[in-house]
Amino acid sequence: MARMKFLCDADRCIECNACVTACKNENEVPWGINRRRVVTINDGKPGERSVSMACMHCTDAPCAAVCPVNCFYTTADGVVLHSKDLCIGCGYCFYACPFGAPQYPKVGNFGSRGKMDKCTYCAGGPEADLTAAEYGGRENGQFTGYGSNRLAEGKLPLCAEMCSTKSLLAGDGEIIAQIFKERVVRRGYSSGAWGWQTAYRESIAS
């Protein structure tokens, strides 16, 4: 079975934020939460690059390692998901994640910020595929579900599909790694496959 991964080619990102908008619209993510965001590195300096950042669905996910209630789990596709029914909002995953992916839905003291929310790779959550319970809704001003399950529909995450420069790639890790290698050979340089080594513990060239 394919191992799903993300790859952001920083040499192609134009900071248009289409990926951010697509994610929010597709999953009806509440105001204040961005499951995906675009970060500019070395802003205004030589070597400036923009990177589309979200949960990378790590091979050995640190969020899962520190969760005291074991609400994180990895699917057969390698997608890291979590159960909001089990989550206690302690925030350990927020501090453990090297990409800052898990986020609180509300601002306030610990215990009042609600259940953590994160990128689901458009793979829904622990409920039955393509159900209203999986998609979720609003309850006491908090988003209770997980959003769209595009993987169950045979589709890729909308953030990657909407990327106009194809900087953001999603899908079978071996295929997107090969696409990136071919790009590097063709253009003769690369600023790196951002986050790949950290998330998947392997080199893109291997």
CA distances from 166 to 149, 151, 206 (A): 22, 19, 22
Nearest Cα residue to 63 out of 50, 53, 72, 54: 72
Report the domain count for the chain: 1
* pLDDT band (50, 70, 90) for residue 206: very low
Domain holding 118: CATH number? 3.30.70.20
Q: How confident is the model over 131-164, as pLDDT tens digits?
A: 887 887 666 556 678 989 999 999 999 999 999 9
Q: What pLDDT score does 131 carry? A: 85
Nearest Cα residue to 162 out of 40, 36, 3: 36
* pLDDT band (50, 70, 90) for residue 47: confident
Q: What pLDDT score does 205 carry? A: 62
Q: N- to C-terminal Cα distance for the chain?
A: 19
Q: How confident is the model over 56-66, as pLDDT tens digits?
A: 999 999 999 99
The answer to whether position 153 is within a domain reads: yes
Q: Can you give the residue range of the structural domain that contains 72? A: 4-200
Nearest Cα residue to 13 out of 116, 149, 163: 163
The answer to whether position 9 is within a domain reads: yes
Length of the chain: 206
The answer to whether position 205 is within a domain reads: no
The answer to whether position 206 is within a domain reads: no
Task: Number of helices (H) and strands (E) in the chain: give both, helices first.
Answer: 7, 9
The answer to whether position 17 is within a domain reads: yes
Q: Which of 70-84, 88-102, 184-198 has the weakest average pLDDT?
A: 184-198
Q: How far apart are CA 70 and CA 88, in angstroms?
A: 10
Nearest Cα residue to 119 out of 101, 95, 93, 94: 101
